[in-house]
């Protein structure tokens, strides 16, 4: 009897040894074969540069019709399971072909490309909350196109709320289903937005902590059984080896581990990194690049089990621009073309602009030219022009109206105030940071100590020191004057404002 028992037991062991590996191999193989492949194509910081070619080291990048060709080619590799997304600043600071029509041409191109979801950056708020809501939901604007219907894809932001009610201005997230698996997209805008747009336009809203907002709505998504979560974050960061640094790295470390991918933005860099097991990407600027993100999702658990990305440059050479987008560009160029092509001057030398730099000579020709022009227009003694408001260079040769608009695309107006001579020093000190000076100047010169970030001396054009007891007129743009935190100290020290 005992021998029969052991014989049967031995036979069972043999069967188990033969069968269990088969089931095991089937299980493993099925898991590998049954994952869902999803592609995300992301763009950030387009800034309405739909018709602009960026030339770097003699290579031409960008323009919306070339970007579309690239996106369509990448989508064709996984046509049914691809989503096109963005992380903000798609409008604002735009080229005139878009800006002169309230950025509605950019929205039309985004529709033609087929964007599925996006968030807001600081520049979406350039013209205030109500205009942004019109851009999203539709409605006519005196400078826009008749019958504008708004954006046909969700715009999400989990940390932008009304001050009076605490209710969110936008939906916090969108859920997209791809091949039976659900992906949650949570949006956040940098909390620094109020410091970068016209304060008068966003007095009704506030921006709350990005990580807290992501975590709150991650919990909501998890409660719905959604474990594949992507954050669209208009938050900056930088590459550091295989990882990232800056605010985006802090965000990645602070949010729920169920977040798998974070699309960064704002500081216009290329970023492809892993932080706290989260894939973090950013794709340059102005449509000159995009991120191609490949995900593998377990259809049983809903988890992202594999993720990697490539930052793809949009190089124009040997690429055919998309004819549908080219036709849209041609349509709007025809509408605004006469003013764009008007020649308004000639530059005998090229001029660089932007922020001043640290060094013996820190200013730049274009910034100084703009500040001198502000002085001339307002008949003031001094002028300050913020570096962030200068968005292009001035090339040698004929200067068109379009050239000038691209240099200063924000439709700012000028404000002149009176200040005591003693106030100019603290005003200048307030705009010097660890990066160096912010503003270009007109009507005076100054020296500063790069170790202390403090002004040393201020001189009038004839070389004599400024008279601290005298009253002077100072011109700035309305962004600097209306800055939410009065970063530039113009309201603190300036009196009797007069406007253009």
Asked whether 205 and 222 are in contact (CB, 8 A), the reply is no
pLDDT above 90 (res 329): yes
Asked whether 123 and 301 are in contact (CB, 8 A), the reply is no
* DSSP secondary structure letters along 444-459: -EEEEETTTTEEEEEE
Which residue carries 């621009």 as its tokens? 321
CA nearest neighbour of 135 among 102, 88, 168, 95:
102
Confidence of residue 243 (pLDDT cuts 50, 70, 90): very high
Regarding predicted confidence, which is higher, 2 or 214? 214
Give all strands (DSSP E) within 195-303, no chain letters.
Answer: 205-207, 228-234, 238-240, 243-245, 259-263, 270-275, 278-283, 289-297
Residue 43 confidence (pLDDT): 98
pLDDT above 70 (res 259): yes
Query: What is the C-alpha separation between 132 and 324, in angstroms, rounded?
Result: 26
Query: What is the C-alpha separation between 306 and 37, in angstroms, rounded?
Result: 9
Q: Is the dihedral of CA 216, 218, 221, 225 positive or negative?
A: negative
Burial of 268 (0-12, 13-18, 19+ CB in 10 A): middle
Collapsing DSSP to helix, strand or coil, 302 comes out as coil
Residue 359 confidence (pLDDT): 85
Confidence of residue 6 (pLDDT cuts 50, 70, 90): very low
Span 409-428, average pLDDT: 96
Residue 257 confidence (pLDDT): 98
Asked whether 412 and 479 are in contact (CB, 8 A), the reply is yes
pLDDT digit string, tens, across residues 452-471: 999 999 999 999 999 999 99
Superfamily in which the 342-499 domain is placed by CATH: 5'-Nucleotidase, C-terminal domain (3.90.780.10)
Rg, C-alpha atoms of the chain:
27
Evaluate if pTM is beyond 0.85: yes
Numbers of helices and strands, H then E, in the chain: 13, 28
pLDDT digit string, tens, across residues 171-212: 999 999 999 999 999 999 999 999 898 888 999 999 999 999
Alpha helices in 87-223 (DSSP H): 96-99, 104-113, 129-137, 210-223
Domain extents in the chain? 1-33, 35-328, 342-499
pLDDT digit string, tens, across residues 348-368: 999 999 999 888 888 999 999
Mean pLDDT is lowest, of 43-47, 61-65, 267-271, 408-412, for 408-412
Q: Which residues contact 14 (CB under 8 A, 6 or more apart)?
A: none
Which residue carries 């196109």 as its tokens? 145
Residue 53 confidence (pLDDT): 96
pLDDT above 90 (res 163): yes
Instruction: Tell me, yes or no, if the two domains 35-328 and 342-499 fold the same way.
Output: no
Confidence of residue 33 (pLDDT cuts 50, 70, 90): low
Confidence of residue 27 (pLDDT cuts 50, 70, 90): very low
pLDDT digit string, tens, across residues 34-66: 999 999 999 999 999 999 999 999 999 999 999
Q: C-alpha distances in angstroms, 184 versus 96, 122, 189, 347, 349?
A: 35, 23, 17, 51, 52
Query: What is the C-alpha separation between 398 and 93, in angstroms, rounded?
Result: 23
Q: C-alpha distances in angstroms, 155 versus 75, 191, 202, 215, 288?
A: 21, 17, 18, 19, 23
Q: Which residues contact 446 (CB under 8 A, 6 or more apart)?
A: 428, 455, 456, 457, 458, 459
Asked whether 312 and 291 are in contact (CB, 8 A), the reply is yes
pLDDT above 80 (res 3): no
* DSSP secondary structure letters along 133-165: HHHHH----TTS-TT----SS-BB-TTEEETTT
- Output phi, psi for 344, to 5 deg: -115, -5
Fold topology of 35-328: Purple Acid Phosphatase; chain A, domain 2 (3.60.21)
């Amino acid at each position: 009897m005992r021998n029969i028992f052991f014989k049967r037991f031995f036979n069972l062991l043999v069967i188990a040894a033969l069968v269990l590996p088969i089931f095991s191999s089937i299980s493993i193989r099925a898991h590998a074969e049954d994952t869902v492949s999803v592609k995300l194509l992301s763009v950030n910081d387009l800034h309405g540069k739909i018709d602009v070619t960026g030339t770097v080291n003699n290579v031409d990048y960008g323009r919306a019709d070339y970007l579309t060709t690239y996106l369509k080619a990448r989508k064709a590799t996984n046509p049914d399971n691809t989503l096109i997304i963005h992380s903000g600043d798609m409008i604002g600071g735009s080229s005139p072909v878009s800006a002169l029509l309230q950025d509605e041409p950019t929205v039309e191109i985004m529709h033609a490309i087929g964007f599925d979801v996006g968030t807001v950056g600081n520049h979406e708020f350039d013209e205030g909350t109500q205009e942004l809501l019109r851009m999203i939901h539709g409605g006519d604007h005196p400078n826009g196109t008749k019958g504008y219907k708004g954006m046909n894809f969700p715009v999400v932001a989990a940390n932008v709320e009304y001050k009076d009610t605490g209710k969110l201005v936008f939906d916090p997230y969108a859920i997209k289903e791809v091949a039976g698996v659900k992906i949650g997209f949570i949006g956040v805008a940098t909390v620094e937005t109020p410091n970068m747009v016209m304060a008068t336009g966003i007095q009704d809203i506030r921006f709350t902590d990005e990580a807290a907002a992501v975590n709150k709505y991650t919990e909501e998504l998890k409660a719905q059984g959604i474990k594949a979560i992507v954050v669209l974050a208009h938050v900056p960061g930088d590459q550091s080896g295989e990882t990232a640094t800056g605010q985006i790295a802090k965000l990645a470390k602070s949010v729920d581990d169920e977040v798998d991918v974070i699309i960064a933005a704002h500081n216009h860099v290329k970023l492809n990194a892993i932080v706290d097991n989260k894939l973090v990407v950013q794709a340059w600027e102005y449509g000159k690049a995009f991120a191609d993100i490949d995900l593998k999702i377990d259809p049983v658990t809903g988890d992202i089990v594999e993720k990697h990305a490539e930052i793809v440059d949009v190089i124009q050479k040997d690429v055919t621009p998309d004819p549908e987008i080219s036709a849209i560009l041609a349509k709007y160029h025809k509408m605004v073309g006469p003013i764009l092509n008007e020649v308004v001057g000639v530059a005998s030398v090229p001029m660089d602009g932007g922020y001043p730099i640290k060094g013996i000579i820190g200013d730049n020709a274009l910034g100084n030219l703009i500040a001198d022009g502000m002085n001339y227009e307002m008949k003031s003694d001094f002028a300050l022009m913020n570096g962030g408001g200068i968005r292009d260079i001035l090339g040698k040769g004929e200067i068109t109206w379009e050239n000038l608009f691209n240099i200063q695309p924000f439709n700012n107006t000028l404000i002149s105030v009176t200040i005591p001579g003693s106030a100019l020093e603290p005003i200048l000190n307030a705009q010097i940071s660890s990066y160096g000076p912010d503003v270009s100047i007109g009507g005076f010169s100054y020296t500063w100590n790069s170790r202390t970030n403090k002004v040393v001396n201020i001189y009038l054009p004839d070389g004599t020191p400024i008279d601290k007891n005298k009253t002077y007129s100072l011109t700035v743009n309305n962004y600097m004057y209306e800055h939410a935190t009065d970063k530039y100290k113009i309201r603190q020290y300036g009196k009797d404002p007069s406007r253009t």
